[in-house]
Amino acid sequence: MTSIRIERDIALPDALRVSRALSTPHLGPRILFFSGGSALNGISRELKRYTFNSIHLITPFDSGGSSQILRRSFNMPAVGDLRSRLMALADETVLGQPDIFALFSHRLPATDTGLKSEVRAMTEGKHPLVKAIGRPMRTLIQSFLQDFTDKAPVGFDYRNASIGNLIIAGGYLGNDRALEPVLFLMSKMVDVRGTVRSVVDANLQLGVDLDDGRRIIGQREITGKEVPPLDARITRAFLSDGTGALRPGDVTLPKRNRRMIGQADVICYPPGSLYSSVIANLLPAGVGRAVAAQGVPKIYLPSLGADPEALGHSLADQVQALVTPLRADMGADTGTNTGDNPADLPVRRFVTHVLCDLSCDPAACDVVTARHGIPCLRLPLAGDVPGRYDPKLACEALVSVA
C-alpha cells in the first residue's frame, strides 16, 4: 500500500515502524488513550502485539449496570471499565490465563436464588471457577472477595453482578479505599501488557448541559443505552458531586497520571461515546496543561458508528468538544495559570490530526481542516463489523505515527 504523508516525518502506514514494533513489543511506543467503555477493547487486544507500553487513563464515572449498585453501596468510583481494559490487555499466552478470564468475566444470574451461596463458595475456594486458578493468584482473589463480603451491606443486590468487579471492589475496600494498589496487583496477576489507571480516584458523576437549557447528571442518563437517548445537543460537560457542577480545580489530575501523559509518544482520543467515554477524562484540572506541553502526535480517532452523545455534532464539532475543556484548563485558576488566553491557543496544541475511515464524508474532513487548521485523513481503517475499526489497521496507523 502506498504510504500517505501527514507531516514531514510521519507517514501512514509506516511498514518499518510497524515491523519494528511487532519484533520488539517490549520496546514498543507509549501510546496513551483517554478512554472508557468497551469500544477500544478490540484495538487494545490487538495492540499487545505491537507494544507492551500503552497507557490507558480510564473514566471511573460510569453510573449504569452493576457499577451503579457498587457505587451506591460503597460510595466508590466505578470499576467496570477498568476491569474490562485489564482483561483486554492481559497476556493471553500465560498458563492459566483463560481460567482467570473466565472468573473475571463471570456474571451472576439475574435471579436472586442462591447468589450469596455462590459468592461464598468462591470466597472459600470451593467454586469451580476459583478452584481452576493456581496459587498464589487464587489466594489473592479469595482475599479480595472476603474483603468484599465482609463489608457488603445487608441486602446487597448480587443479581447480575460481575465477579471481576466484586474482586476489584474488594481490593479497593481492603486497601484503604484506594484504586492504585489494587490495579497494580491486578496488572501483575494477569500480566497486563500496558498500564491501566483511573484518570482520577474519585467518586464523582459526569454531568452535561443541553442546548435546550436542561442539565443532566449521571453517565447512565447520558449514554442512551439504559434510558432513551438524549433528544437535544450537548453543549458542555462537567464533573459533579451528584448535585451540581464542581468548580475548575476541585478535581485534579494525579501527579502519576500527569507523568504518564508527559512520557507519551502518541496521545489518542479513541473511539467511544464522545462525552462519557472520552471527554470525561479531559475534565480534571491539569489534563489540558499536560497535553499541551507534549510535542507529540495527538490523534483523534472518531467513532464510526452512531453515537447518541454526539447528536448534532459534525466531525469538526466533535474536535471542538474535545478541545474545549483542554483549552479551559490552560486558563483555569488552579495556581498554575499559564498566562495564555485559552481562546487564542491553536487546536494543534491539543489535537494534531484526525484519522478516520474512507466512509467518512470528504466534505466533513475538509471542514475540520478549514475550521481547526489540522489535517483530517481518510484511510482504509474499517473492519468487517459495521461501525467498528479493523483492530490491525487501527493499530498500524497509531504505531506509524509514534
What pLDDT score does 135 carry? 87
pTM listed for this prediction: 0.93
Pairwise CA distance, residues 248 & 276, whole Å: 18
- pLDDT, residue 96, reads 65
- Residue 332's pLDDT is what? 56
Residue 274 DSSP code = I
Contact 9/400 with Cβ under 8 angstroms? no
CA-CA distances (angstroms) from residue 182 to 20, 107, 171, 252, 316? 33, 20, 5, 21, 39
Position 90 scores a pLDDT of 92
Q: How far apart are CA 380 and CA 38, in angstroms?
A: 22
pLDDT-flagged residues of the chain (< 50): 1-6, 8-9, 333-338
Q: Where in the chain is the domain with CATH 3.40.50?
A: 4-59+200-401
Q: Give the pLDDT score at 114.
A: 87
Backbone angles phi and psi of 339, in degrees to 5: 85, -10
At 209 the three-state DSSP class reads strand
Q: DSSP labels for 155-178?
A: T---TT-BHHHHHHHHHHHHTTT-
Q: What is the pLDDT of residues 179-236, one digit of tens each?
A: 999 999 999 888 999 999 999 999 999 999 999 999 999 999 999 888 999 999 999 9
> For 4-59+200-401, CATH number?
3.40.50
For 20, 201, 307, 316, 380, the CA distances from 275, given in Å and listed in that order, are 35, 19, 10, 15, 26
pLDDT reported for residue 210: 98
